[in-house]
Amino acid sequence: MRYIITYALAGLLLYSCVRDEVSAPDVSGIDGNFDLIRVEQVMMNADTNNVLEELNQYPAFTQIYLNNIMGFTDDENENLKGFVTDENINLIYQATQIQYGNFESLEADFEKAFQYYKYYFPNRDIPKIYTFISEYGIQRFVFSDENGKDALGIGLDLFLGADYPYAQFIPNNPAFSSYLIRRFNKDHLIKRSMGALVEDLLGPNKGSTLLEKMIHNGKKLYILDQLLPSTPDSIIMEYTEEQMEWVQDNEVEMWAYLLKEDLFFDSDINKINKLVNPSPNSPGMPKEAPGRTANYLGWRIVDAFMKRQQNYSIDDLINEGDAQKILNLSKFKPSK
């Protein structure tokens, strides 16, 4: 069974440029309905002696949840009984239900996102969504359900907001650094969940150079922007308002730095890591520069490329593996 698990990374509602939905394709005639399974509610409301029986309604999810996420490899009944009666787990459950007990607004947002998803990927299934709690283990993952169809798991306890005391409960875990947990909130839940689907579409990043990584990540950001056209760019990039404004205002300087340091074809992970992976900053740039600045430039390159390829579909973009070709044909020039 194929599944993609993404560990804790997520946060804060922030303003930025938004591509007006008026300029997006008309998806009003597309059915974006989906099935929602509230696993955490099923578990916590079940008879404590029958939790496994209730979970077995969803065999594909349950196998991954028990074995791969929770690590319950033996005596699952007793493990589950201990889990649902644990005081701390009940506090986590209560916290998730305060924010997500009523899922209606998010259901509407997901339905709209899935309309765009079906518009761009008509042969893909609209996934079932399974919400759950994992004691801060996993945020979202894509898997195949028992019918071989796409499904999406969302760990609600990793979307409880920047003020939730994650670091207090799990000290010294870098996943709960302040620059990461500021994004652990409802405003990023749709984006990060759809991001898991996009990662599944793109497959792993096989490139080793900075250019290959920034174009791969730029594809992801570009596709997310198409699926979530009314979402602020700051949410798509997972930046603050100030960080988003900084990268928009300093494209020329960022580009010049990468050229000056000859980084585009560098594959030294120690040099390029913070330019493409979550980080509080981009080394070598001014202190105001956030991490992942190369991804932002990659997004801008891919966007310029797609605007010049009038007959290019998103599937064509996904299948185009030549980062240098995308850069060349984009004729990208950083904005002053």
Domain boundaries, the chain: 3-202, 210-330
CB 142 within 8 A of CB 127: yes
Whether this model's pTM surpasses 0.85: yes
- The bridge status of strand 3-7 relative to strand 138-144 is antiparallel
Contact 80, 51 (CB under 8 A): yes
Task: Please check whether residue 166 is in contact with residue 136, taking contact to mean a CB–CB distance below 8 angstroms.
Answer: yes
Q: Which of 215, 173, 160, 219 is nearest to 195 (CA)?
A: 219
Of 11-20, 235-244, 321-330, which range is least confident?
Answer: 11-20
Classify the C-alpha dihedral 257-260-261-267 as positive or negative: positive
The pLDDT of residue 24:
92
What the block records as the tokens of 226 is 């198409």
CA distances (Å), 86 to each of 93, 217, 261, 308, in order? 11, 40, 53, 57
pLDDT in tens, 178-217: 888 888 999 999 999 999 999 999 999 989 999 999 999 9
What does the pLDDT look like over 10-53, one tens digit per residue?
332 333 444 455 589 999 999 999 999 999 999 999 999 999 99
d(CA 236, CA 298): 13
